[in-house]
Amino acid sequence: MQYNFYLLFYCLLLSTPLMTRADNLRFALIPKETNNPFFIASGEGCKFAAKKLGNVECIFQGSANIDVRAQDKIISDLIDTGVDGIAVAISQSEFLASHSIKKAIEHQIPVITYDADFDPQTLKKYQHLRLSYIGSDDFELGKALGEQLTLYRPNGGVLAIQSGRPDSPNLNLRVMGVRSALSGKLYSTAPGERLNGDNGWTEISQPLYNFGQFDKALEDLKTVLNLYQDQKIDSFVAVGGWPQFIEGYRDIVEPYKLDIERKDIVVIIGDSAKIQRQYLQEHLAHANIGQNPFEMGKQAIFTLYKIVNKQKYEKQIMTPLTYCTQDNYRTCTGKN
């Protein structure tokens, strides 16, 4: 009962007549981090939608690296400036729900999520926490990464999984998807269970967490490559594009190009930015499973616009995945 204010304020928001505005509507798109090509593309989608609508300003603002407290403060500060709607990629569910998102709802500011949603437990605890989610199905993304790996390793192998944060809801779903695809099991909660001989698959450790730091992600990949023969590691799956988003990936991986071409070690990585497709062309990775961040940012602004103007809107918009390989890297995203 203590969280009934969420329902109350959203009811007030949806029932109060919209005031006529002489100025622009100001919508904030708040990514997990701003130095990530994925989120930069979502900001471009936000600006595209704002320009198309004409009377909308896109405010793309976030911290350089994943930092839930910094993200929370940015949201709170934007509320104080008087934004008309917020779309946020959730870095940590409970903290944001009980702090800045609670403040947004108290100020009757509509909130939607994109790319990374609140986890199921938080959505259940704080009912009516957000009005819409726009993004990929993270479990299916992880599953696609795992299924791609099985094309190269049909009989199983020894795997290192890389993820961002252990408390990231969407990334945990991706890890669970990888594990489900490889083990053939369904898990009740994300991120599932570490593989230990399941269907021929064994994980060398729990996921290698980089906390959104590209240099750490690349260093972890370097360690795996340096040890893969001694430790019998033959597979590396990153559920995001971190190691490929920093200069130096080519230098680290190129000495193992022959090993990659012989499939002695298989490298599958999330996201499909232009530089990542270049690495596929150079045979410095086997496959990338990507999303459409531009579409997420665009649809987030369109959705907020519909909400504040009391138009019909979708409670969930699932954006499609892209499947990029060494064979189709030119055409897999529909962009050159």
Q: What fold, for 138-290?
A: Rossmann fold (3.40.50)
292 touches 319 (CB < 8 A): yes
Q: Is the dihedral of CA 179, 264, 207, 215 positive or negative?
A: negative
DSSP 145: H
**HEC assignment per residue over 180-222:** HHHHCCCCCCCCCCCCEEECCEEECCCCEECCCCHHHHHHHHH
Per-residue tokens: 236: 């590396």
Residue 2 reports pLDDT greater than 60: no
Predicted confidence band of residue 5 (pLDDT cuts 50, 70, 90): very low
Select from 125, 130, 144 the least CA-distant residue to 100: 130
Q: With a cut of 60, say whether residue 7 has pLDDT above it.
A: no
Q: What would the pLDDT profile of 60-74 be if each residue is shown by its tens digit?
A: 999 998 899 999 999
Q: Which pLDDT belongs to residue 43?
A: 98
Arithmetic mean of pLDDT over the chain: 92
Question: In the predicted model, is pLDDT for residue 163 greater than 60?
Answer: yes
Q: What pLDDT score does 23 carry? A: 64
Do 4-136+293-320 and 138-290 come out as alike in CATH topology?
A: yes
- Please name the amino acid found at residue 241: G
Nearest partner of 271 among 159, 158, 164, 117, judged by Cα = 164
pLDDT higher than threshold 80 for residue 268: yes
Share of the chain above pLDDT 70, in %: 93
pLDDT of residue 65: 86
pTM of the model: 0.84
What average pLDDT does this structure show over 141-165? Answer: 97
198-254: per-residue pLDDT in tens?
999 999 999 999 998 999 999 999 999 998 888 889 999 999 999 999 999 999 999
Domain ranges in the chain? 4-136+293-320, 138-290
Mean pLDDT of 183-209: 97
Least confident range from 160-164, 165-169, 199-203, 312-316: namely 165-169
Q: Are strands 287-290 and 322-325 parallel, antiparallel or unpaired?
A: antiparallel
pLDDT band at 20 (very low <50, low <70, confident <90, very high): very low
Cα–Cα dist 80/139, whole Å: 35
HSE toward the beta carbon, residue 180, CA cutoff 13 A: 20
Domain 4-136+293-320's class? alpha beta
> CA 136, 287, 229 angle in degrees (round to 5)?
125
Q: At 228, phi and psi to the nearest 5? A: -60, -35
pLDDT classification of 104: cutoffs 50, 70, 90: very high
